[in-house]
C-alpha cells in the first residue's frame, strides 16, 4: 500500500506530562497535512538535493514520511553519526501525499536527496518497480541483509531480480478497537469470522455506538476496508489472483473482488458506518474510536499508538485481525511491506548512503525501527522484539496466512487513485459494484 500509496499516520516522540502529551498529540494529528519536520541531528530541508562535503565531513540528505517513521529513525541517525563522525545526515520529513509529488519531481530534475522514501512493489508513482526502470535508484543487491529477506517478499523490494529498497518490516491491517465500547455493548469475545463480526456490530449499534469509524474524505483511507476483506474472500477463492490478473486470466470484474465490495456495502447498508463517511477525515476517524463514539476503525497497525495516546485510558485501545472469513474457514490477513529507503543513483556519496542503509538493516537496528513503527520486522528471526499490539498477528505471518497489500502487485500507479475515487463513489451511491469494477479494470489495463 503506498502505508504504502498513501497510508502513513502521524505519531510524534515523547512529550512532558501525560495530559500535555495528549493535548499536543491531538494538535499534531489535526495539523498532519501541514507537517514537515526535522529530526535527529539533521536540519529541515524541504527541497531535497544531494549531500555535499564540507569541512572534511560528508553530508547526506534524507527525506521520508513524517510520523512513526520519523520517530523510529531519529535515534538511529544519532547512533550512526556517533559511529561515523565524518558523516552527517540532514533528514527532513513530510506527509505521504506531499512526498508522492515532490520527490518524483526532484528525481525528474536530478536533484533528489541522497536517501529517500520508496514504496515496495508497483502501486504508486514512488514505488520501486516504477522508479527502478528509469535508472534513478542505486542497486543494493550486494548488501548482506538482502539474503535474509523471505523469498516471497524479495520481488517487492526491487525489479528484474535486483534489490533497490530496504524496508523495515511488514505492516498489517486490522481493527483498532475500543475495549470499553465493546464491553458496554455486551461484546465479550473478539469476533473471529464474518458472521461473528456482524453480530458484534449489531450489538454495538443497538447500544447507540458507531460500529465502524470510516474516514473516506482522506483518500488513502478508502482502500483499507476492501484490503482487509480481500485476503479471506478474493484471495481465498484464488490464492494466485494477483498473478492471474497480471497474466490476463482474471480481472476485477470476473474474480472474487466482487465479493469484497458486496461485503463492504453490507456493512454500510446495515448502518454500521458513521454518518457521511465521505465527509469524515482520517483525523476524525481516529478521534471517534479514541473518544468511545465508535467501536472500531479498520486501519494500518501504525495508527494504533496515536489513538491510544488520545484515549482517556490508553488500556481501552487494542488491535485484532479483521475477520472477513466465512464461519468455519481460515482467516487470512493483509500484511504489506512498509515504505522503506532507497539511494539516489545520482548521489555524490553513494558509498556513504549505502553504508547508512546497511546500518539500518543490521538486525538489532531493524528490530528497533520496526517496533517503534508498529511493524513486524522483516529480518531478525523469531527472537526479534515486537510491539505488543502486534502479538495477535504473529501467528498469521508464521503460518503464511497473509496477503501483500493489493496495490503492491498492481501493474501501474493508476489503479490506486481509481480505487480511492471508486470507493468514495460506491459509498455515496454514485456508482454500483459493476461500475466500480469496470473503473478498476479500465485503470488496470492502462500503460
Q: Return the CATH number at 233.
A: 3.40.190.10
In a domain, 396, yes or no: no
C-alpha cell recorded at residue 366: 531493524
Q: Pick the most confident of 12-26, 65-79, 143-157, 310-324.
A: 310-324
Tell me, yes or no, whether 16 lies in a domain: no
pLDDT at residue 12 tops 70: no
Same domain, 221 and 366: no
| Closest C-alpha to 423, from 194, 300, 257, 270 | 257
| 428 occurs within a structural domain | yes
Label residues 53-71 b or e (16+ Cβ within 10 Å = b): eeeeebbbbbbbbbbbbbb
Is 411 a member of any domain? yes
Q: State whether 95 and 205 are in the same domain.
A: no
What is the chain's length?
447
**409 found inside a domain:** yes
Cβ contact 105:135 at 8 Å: no
CB 180 within 8 A of CB 313: yes
Tens digits of per-residue pLDDT, 188-243? 999 999 999 999 999 999 999 999 999 999 999 999 999 999 999 999 999 999 99
Is 18 among the domain residues? no
Let me know: does 291 contact 29? Beta carbons within 8 Å. no
67-94: average pLDDT: 92
Does residue 127 share a domain with residue 227? no
Within a domain: residue 28? Answer: no
pLDDT value, residue 381: 55
- Answer yes or no: is 212 within a domain: yes
pTM of the predicted structure, to 2 decimals: 0.80
Q: Which domain holds residue 83?
A: 35-168+338-379
307 and 325 fall within a common domain: yes
pLDDT score at 82: 97
Average pLDDT over residues 27-32: 32
For the beta carbon of residue 278, count every other beta carbon within 10 angstroms: 15
Q: How far is CA 238 from CA 169, 193, 203, 245, in A?
A: 26, 19, 33, 11
Give the mean pLDDT of 164-191: 96
Q: What letters, b where the CB count within 10 A reaches 16 and e where it falls short, cover 197-216?
A: bbebbbbbbeeebbbbbbbb
Both 192 and 306 in one domain: the answer is: yes
Report the share of the chain in percent with pLDDT over 70: 86
How many domains are there within the chain?
2
pLDDT at residue number 256: 97
What residue has cell string 459493476?
A: 434
Amino acid at each position: 500500500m503506498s502505508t504504502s500509496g498513501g497510508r502513513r499516520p502521524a505519531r510524534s516522540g515523547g512529550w512532558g506530562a501525560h495530559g500535555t502529551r495528549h493535548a499536543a498529540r491531538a494538535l499534531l494529528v489535526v495539523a498532519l497535512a501541514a507537517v514537515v519536520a526535522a529530526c535527529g541531528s539533521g536540519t529541515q530541508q524541504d527541497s531535497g538535493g544531494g549531500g555535499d562535503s564540507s569541512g572534511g565531513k560528508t553530508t547526506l540528505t534524507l527525506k521520508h514520511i513524517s510520523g512513526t517513521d520519523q520517530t523510529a529513525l531519529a535515534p538511529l541517525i544519532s547512533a550512526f553519526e556517533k559511529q561515523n563522525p565524518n558523516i552527517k545526515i540532514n533528514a527532513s520529513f513530510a506527509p505521504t501525499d506531499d512526498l508522492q509529488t515532490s520527490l518524483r519531481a526532484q528525481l525528474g530534475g536530478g536533484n533528489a536527496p541522497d536517501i529517500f522514501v520508496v514504496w515496495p512493489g508497483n502501486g504508486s508513482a514512488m514505488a520501486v518497480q516504477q522508479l527502478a526502470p528509469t535508472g534513478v535508484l542505486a542497486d543494493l543487491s550486494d548488501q548482506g541483509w538482502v539474503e535474509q529477506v523471505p523469498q516471497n517478499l524479495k520481488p517487492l523490494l526491487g525489479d528484474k531480480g535486483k534489490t533497490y529498497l530496504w524496508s523495515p518490516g511488514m505492516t498489517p491491517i486490522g481493527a483498532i478497537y475500543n475495549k470499553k465500547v465493546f464491553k458496554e455493548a455486551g461484546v465479550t469475545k473478539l469476533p473471529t469470522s464474518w458472521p461473528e463480526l456482524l453480530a458484534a456490530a449489531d450489538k454495538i449499534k443497538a447500544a447507540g455506538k458507531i460500529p465502524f469509524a470510516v474516514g473516506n474524505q482522506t483518500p488513502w483511507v478508502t482502500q483499507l476496508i476492501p484490503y482487509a476483506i480481500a485476503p479471506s474472500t478474493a484471495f481465498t477463492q484464488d490464492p494466485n489472483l494477483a498473478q492471474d490478473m497480471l497474466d490476463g486470466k482474471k480481472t476485477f470484474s470476473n474474480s472474487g473482488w466482487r465479493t469484497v465490495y458486496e461485503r463492504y456495502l453490507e456493512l454500510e447498508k446495515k448502518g454500521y458506518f458513521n454518518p457521511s463517511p465521505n465527509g469524515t477525515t482520517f483525523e476524525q476517524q481516529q478521534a471517534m474510536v479514541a473518544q468511545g463514539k465508535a467501536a472500531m476503525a479498520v486501519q494500518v497497525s501504525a495508527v494504533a499508538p496515536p489513538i491510544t495516546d488520545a484515549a482517556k485510558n490508553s488500556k481501552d485501545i487494542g488491535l485484532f485481525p479483521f475477520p472477513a472469513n466465512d464461519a468455519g474457514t481460515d482467516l487470512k490477513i493483509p500484511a504489506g511491506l512498509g515504505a522503506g529507503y532507497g539511494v539516489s543513483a545520482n548521489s555524490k556519496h553513494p558509498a556513504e548512503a549505502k553504508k547508512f542503509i546497511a546500518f539500518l538493516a543490521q538486525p538489532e537496528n531493524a528490530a528497533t525501527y520496526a517496533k517503534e513503527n508498529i511493524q513486524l520486522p522483516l529480518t531478525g528471526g523469531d527472537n526479534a522484539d515486537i510491539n505488543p499490539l502486534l502479538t495477535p498477528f504473529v501467528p498469521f505471518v508464521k503460518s503464511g496466512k497473509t496477503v501483500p497489500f493489493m496495490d503492491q502487485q498492481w501493474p501501474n500507479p493508476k489503479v490506486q487513485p481509481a480505487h480511492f475515487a471508486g470507493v468514495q463513489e460506491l459509498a455515496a451511491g454514485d456508482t454500483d459494484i459493476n461500475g466500480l469494477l469496470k473503473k478498476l479494470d479500465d485503470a488496470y489495463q492502462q500503460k
